[in-house]
Amino acid sequence: MPECQPRATLEPCRTRHQTGAVNQPVEVFRSRLRRPSEERAFVLTAVGIASEVDWDGSAFVVRVDNVARAHAEHHLWQYEQERRRPVPVEPSFTPLPGAWRGSLFYVLVLLLVPIALAQGWFVLDPYRVGVMDPARMQAGEWWRAVTALTLHWDAAHLVGNLGSGALLGFSAAQVWGNARAWLLILLAGVLANLTEGLLAAGSYVSAGASTAVFAALGLVAAHAWRTRRHSAPSPLRRWAPLIAGVAMLGFFGAGSGEPGLMAEADSTNVLSHALGFVAGVGCGALAASARGAALLQRVPAWFAMLAVTALLGSAWLLALRPAV
């Protein structure tokens, strides 16, 4: 469309946005710039209102038929409200420093059992007294929900959980800090194991930190979902963190191979992985809520670390109690 060059001595420039003569045109918008007026005229045309843009010597004026004036002004008011509505901004996130320290602590805890076995520090077989055994847990040996997280069947099983757990724990520690993040991970993992111990039936045992690993995955996914659910422009992007978490659970949680000590063949404890993820999502959603975040901030880091150490230590003391 050729640009209009308005001059005082020339006829006003006119651009029609709908064919047909305009009867008794009245002004509904004006601007010294052409583009804003063209935009308003386009809005009116989109809702079926005939409009024209004129240069009156001082501004570009949008005119409509006098009969359609109220209708046009209403649609232009709605358009202005949409333009003024603030665009949702995703909340800023500043990772907390030193998250690697918590992952290092996690690695050392998992390595402690094989080192103690190699050095002969255990009087009793830790696998006999510490693995997940639903029958014994239902009989009152609740500590197995904790000790089983630190036991692994072989080197490949241990290395896999070391890498994935350290990585996801690092992400969680960037959000909540080392002590609070690992306290949440441990509590979610223990909760998942306790649930499995109460619900499961049959003669099998299992072990491994993968329950806590998937709990950490659920924590991180739930936090991302809760913090972006009001700012994401679409439902798909709003639910993307949880969808990605479920996808990772399905991809890694069904094929990592955790053989049961009493099983006839190697099998993966899918129930444990799923319960760990669900427990992590629940804890993460609570921790990311306004009330939960405020409550978690009241927990001193030293107390959170003491709680982690005390829970692990007391569970193993109970497991090894016959040796005392």
Please check whether residues 146 and 271 belong to one and the same domain.
Answer: yes
What mean pLDDT is predicted for residues 6-31? 58
What mean pLDDT is predicted for residues 265-290? 85
Cα–Cα distances (Å) from 11 to 6, 7, 57, 229, 316, in that order, read 8, 8, 10, 55, 94
Q: How confident is the model at residue 91 (pLDDT cuts 50, 70, 90)?
A: low
Q: Does a structural domain hold residue 188? A: yes
Which of 10-19, 171-180, 292-301 shows the lowest per-residue confidence on average (mean pLDDT)? 10-19
Asked if 68 and 53 touch (Cβ cutoff 8 Å), the reply is: no
Please check whether residues 53 and 122 belong to one and the same domain.
Answer: no
Asked if 225 and 238 touch (Cβ cutoff 8 Å), the reply is: yes
249 pLDDT exceeds 50?
A: yes
Asked if 179 and 106 touch (Cβ cutoff 8 Å), the reply is: no
User: What mean pLDDT value characterizes the chain?
Assistant: 84
Asked if 171 and 276 touch (Cβ cutoff 8 Å), the reply is: no
Instruction: Name the domain boundary from 58, 84, 110.
Output: 84
Q: What is the pLDDT of residue 185?
A: 97
Beta strands 60-65 and 25-31: pairing type?
Answer: antiparallel
105-136: pLDDT as tens digits:
999 999 999 999 888 888 888 999 999 999 89
Q: How confident is the model at residue 189 (pLDDT cuts 50, 70, 90)?
A: very high
Q: Which amino acid is at 82?
A: E
304 pLDDT exceeds 60?
A: yes
Q: Does a structural domain hold residue 198? A: yes
Q: What is the pLDDT of residue 86?
A: 65
Domains identified in the chain, total number: 2
Q: Does a structural domain hold residue 187? A: yes
What mean pLDDT is predicted for residues 306-311? 96
- Domain holding 305: CATH number? 1.20.1540.10
Asked if 294 and 232 touch (Cβ cutoff 8 Å), the reply is: no
Q: Please state, as a whole number, how many other Cβ atoms lie within 10 Å of the Cβ of residue 26.
A: 16
Question: What are the start-end ranges of the E strands in the chain?
Answer: 14-16, 25-31, 51-55, 60-65
Domain that holds residue 62: 14-84
Which of 21-35, 115-129, 179-193 shows the lowest per-residue confidence on average (mean pLDDT)? 21-35
Q: Does a structural domain hold residue 91? A: no
Please check whether residues 163 and 277 belong to one and the same domain.
Answer: yes
Please check whether residues 174 and 302 belong to one and the same domain.
Answer: yes
What mean pLDDT is predicted for residues 222-248? 78
**How far, in Å, CA of 94 to CA of 259, rounded?**
40
Q: What is the pLDDT of residue 155?
A: 92
Please check whether residues 287 and 194 belong to one and the same domain.
Answer: yes
Q: What is the pLDDT of residue 56?
A: 86
- Domain holding 72: CATH number? 3.30.70
Please check whether residues 168 and 266 belong to one and the same domain.
Answer: yes
Q: How confident is the model at residue 305 (pLDDT cuts 50, 70, 90)?
A: very high
> Which token pair is 139?
């009989």
Q: How confident is the model at residue 92 (pLDDT cuts 50, 70, 90)?
A: low
What mean pLDDT is predicted for residues 50-76? 90
Please check whether residues 75 and 134 belong to one and the same domain.
Answer: no
Q: Which amino acid is at 135?
A: A
Instruction: Name the domain boundary from 24, 59, 84.
Output: 84
3-state class (DSSP) for residue 37: helix
Phi, then psi, of 213 in degrees rounded to 5: -60, -45
Please check whether residues 249 and 158 belong to one and the same domain.
Answer: yes
Instruction: Name the domain boundary from 51, 84, 117.
Output: 84
Please check whether residues 73 and 107 belong to one and the same domain.
Answer: no
Please check whether residues 73 and 115 belong to one and the same domain.
Answer: no
Q: Does a structural domain hold residue 9? A: no
Q: Does a structural domain hold residue 92? A: no
Please check whether residues 119 and 50 belong to one and the same domain.
Answer: no
Please check whether residues 173 and 255 belong to one and the same domain.
Answer: yes
Q: Does a structural domain hold residue 307? A: yes
**How far, in Å, CA of 71 to CA of 295, rounded?**
52
Q: Does a structural domain hold residue 52? A: yes
Asked if 247 and 221 touch (Cβ cutoff 8 Å), the reply is: no
